[in-house]
Structure 1
Amino acid sequence: MKKTITLGLCLIVFLFNACKTEPNSKAVKKEVLNLHDKLMIDGGKVMSNKMKLDSVLKSNKIKSPEEAAKITALISSLNKADEGMMDWMHLFNDDFKGKNEQEDLDYYKSEMVKVRQVEDSYIKVTKASDSVLKSYDVAPSEKMNMEHHKH
């Protein structure tokens, strides 16, 4: 009877460990790269909105120096968001090889945090620039793909 119980407990422990859904480094790396690919498209919208705001700034639609300063600051924020993406891409090591699986996983998890910060800055400046463009009756660029924005 004890052998049956011991065998049953061992089987339960084995099955529990086999069913863990702990991500591995390859899965996290793939998620990071997928987010990067999406952000490359979103970066096009960021730069398009920047160019449209530049045009608004040069137009005769600006009614006050305060409005001009607000748009100038927003253009600067759009540039900063784009630079954040460029910085992350230059520092990202696509072929990272740690000493073991845990080091690889830790690296890609830390990169996920960094690329999510880029994503958050893109979301923030895009919403702000869309709003300002609409207030000047300028159509913002196509909407960003929001499917990955569930974090």
Structure 2
Amino acid sequence: MLKNKFISFLLFSLITYSASLIGGLATISFKEPWYSLLNKPTFNPPDWIFAPVWTSLYLMMTIAIWIFWHNKNRDMNTVYIYFIHLIFNTTWSIVFFVFHHMLLALIVLIALIGLIMTLIIRFKRVNLVSSYLMVPYVLWCCFALILNFNLIILN
């Protein structure tokens, strides 16, 4: 049983952090000089803050889905929604940093927040810890939505 839990944690980590890797590579490869030339709001965080925040959020997402997975009341539709939400998570970075399409990125972010809220509700039915682990993530994405919106207004 412990071996299965360890393997499932590794698999969920691999899947979740793959989204991070793809989004990170898109960001690193296409961010500059475009992003540096944008007018940013005064509350825009410094660049160094994003890596530790996202690393922490991806770990919490991994733990949330892993706990959910090992609950006898889990349902596969929620797991599918989790995977779909990872696609939207990665898509935002590609749309924003690769294609520089801030309005479409805003739309992707709205859909992502909807998916995260759906996961929070569905996780809550099965395990409160999984649900609570997603709250910082949705809050950060709401902050990102405000940033994204302000970048559109300022540019």
TM-score, length-normalised on structure 2? 0.47
More helix by share: 2
Report 1 or 2 for greater relative contact order, CA contacts < 8 Å, sequence distance ≥ 6.
Answer: 1
Q: Which has the larger radius of gyration?
A: 1
